[in-house]
Amino acid sequence: METQRTINRDFSLSGKGLQTGKKVEVFFYPEEENKGIILKRKDFPKNEPLVLGSGGLKFNSSRRSIVGKGKNSVETIEHVLASLHGLGIDNARIEMTGSEPPGMDGSAKIFTEAIRKAGIKEQKEERRYLRITKPLWVEDKEAFVGIFPSDKFKVSFLIDYPVASIGRQTFSGEIEPEIFEKEIASARTFCLKEQALLLLKMGFGKGANVKNTLVMDADGPMDNELRFPDEPVRHKVLDLIGDLYLLGRPLKARVVGVRSGHRLNLKLMEKLKKEYACK
């Protein structure tokens, strides 16, 4: 029997939020069995906690994942959730001093390392997997993300960008803690060079720079080096793993993404929530 897991002790990390550019701190706390993943804003202490997987929880997205509504919402949470999902953490409470966690290096690496340093505690209750029993998918023009029955958690992804330094990239594999740590966690967020200024004008990425975001031109990342030859597609997998954990349950499923992003991922999450999470 696989049992649930939590972190062994509490810890915190601080830095600037990728979107707001404001200094923020995120606190990780252990939780009891069957409590799930809980998100809370420390700057609004009277707010009700956001329990992932609960029926009334709303998802929203543009270029990042948003959970909740108004002042009782958190954004850009996907890298934290990817760390929890990838390491198999079932129960934890995450509290933030702002609307988003710190961006760190633009990946899930530092969150993952901090969880490992704090330690992972095996609990007594059995893991409560979300087992997919029939195919579900959403699509928009050439973008697609779907989920299919499987006895393992597997992710396949394809991206295709009209810039020579990215082009067509694919990744496919079973997601286990060791694979996640080695192959996925350190892949950083990216954007095309021509998108960078546009995003800033739109109010996004105020805490982003060429060190925590791969700004890709034809020759590669500006003032940076790739950690993997196919780092962009690996980061897309990281984001998808994080978005999938908005349901608050580990998966037994095969997930396939083609040119998908947060907006389409969260449409699939809403579809899954209606089909499974509220039953």
The residues assigned a catalytic role are: 262
Amino acid at 62: S
H/E run at residue 210: none
Classify residue 275 as exposed, middle or buried by CB count within 10 Å of its CB (0-12, 13-18, 19+): middle
Task: Provide the pairing of β-strand 37-41 with 92-96.
Answer: parallel
Residue with tokens 């999938």: 244
Listed in sequence order, the residues at least 6 apart from 189 whose beta carbon sits closer than 8 Å to its beta carbon are 18, 106, 107, 208, 212, 213, 214, 235, 239
Contact 264, 157 (CB under 8 A): no
Q: How many helices (H) and strands (E) does the chain have?
A: 6, 19
> Rounded distance, CA 80 to CA 24, Å?
14
Classify residue 35 as exposed, middle or buried by CB count within 10 Å of its CB (0-12, 13-18, 19+): middle
Q: In the 8-state DSSP scheme, what is residue 273?
A: I
> Rounded distance, CA 157 to CA 230, Å?
12
